[in-house]
Chains A and B, each alone.
Chain A
Amino acid sequence: MPTELMETNKVEAVQNGTEQTRTNKVFIPRTDIYESKDHLLLMADMPGVKQDAVDITLEHNILTIYGRVEPPKVEEFGLTYAEYGIGDYRRVFTLSNEIDRDGIQASVKNGVLKLVLPKSKNAIPRKITVQTA
């Protein structure tokens, strides 16, 4: 079994000076980022996050993703064994490319956030052919 591929333990986000108003835990979602010619594709593992519980903000070139997790309701049940912590997800990225804000698409499926960030028209590299004189 390729355990090295599947990381088990969630990494908790460390506060940088600022504190949260709520006392719940915040984890760093594992993320893949792909770049193609005209867009950036970001996939983040956020198990337990609903489609409408994700906040995405892009300020200048700072992208923040935040996913809220509602703690599971377990009436009359008591937690007897725990291997993972439950909490929100937050991660901040600095984007190197200019992004067309209006074209950003976000969706959540099976606990994975998929973010398509189209590159701004001015930022798409143009091929310049060198002419020989």
Chain B
Amino acid sequence: MLLQRIADTDLFSSLRDMQRLQQQLSRLMSVEKWPSTQEFPPINVWTSENGAIARTEIPGIDPNDIEISLVNDSLTIKGSRNPEIVQEGQTYHRQERGHGQFTRSLQLPFRVEADEVQAHFINGVLEITLPRAKADQPRKIGVISE
């Protein structure tokens, strides 16, 4: 009886399952490409000749609770997320979202025009625009031919 059942299984469907498992495995491996940091929040940085844009995902935080400071070329972001208030008679099925305080510093590759730094908080993503200090900007030097 057992033998019968094994013989009946569709070989192709199990092959498909194998492929899917393989895909899942390779996906798991590819996560390693990201520099894994234990620090919160994770930051992405875009740069150009004239400055940088730093973005970080901090959903559920009141923009008034975010503190951004800049000292020379290091940027510090501070904030906190409050835990959800559990009402009486309320039970939880899942609690995966973290809460607490965080501080994150970032060293920039150039000096920043501190007066022109802007920060926007849109849909849980904090975006900080950091223009490069004028004195620090690369200058083009023209060659004069005689």
A residues contacting B by CB (< 8 A) are 1-9, 12, 14-17, 30-37, 40-41, 43, 45-50, 72, 74, 76-86, 108-112
Q: Which of A36, A40, A111 has the most CB of B within 10 A?
A: A111
Q: Which residue of B lies closest to A14 (CB)?
A: B24
6 A-B pairs with least C-beta separation: A111-B124, A111-B59, A83-B42, A47-B124, A47-B57, A6-B40
Other contacts beyond A32-B96, A77-B47, A110-B62: 7, CB < 8 A? A15-B23, A34-B91, A35-B91, A47-B124, A48-B124, A80-B46, A111-B57
Q: How many Å lie between the Cα of A74 and that of B93 in the bound state?
A: 39
Main secondary structure of the interface of B (DSSP, over half): mixed
- Inter-chain residue pair count (beta carbon < 8 A): 160
How many residues belonging to B are interface residues under a CB distance threshold of 8 Å? Answer: 55
How distant is the Cα of A80 from the Cα of B35 in the complex, in angstroms?
12
Q: Given A81-B44, A83-B44, do A6 and B98 touch, yes or no (CB 8 Å)?
A: yes
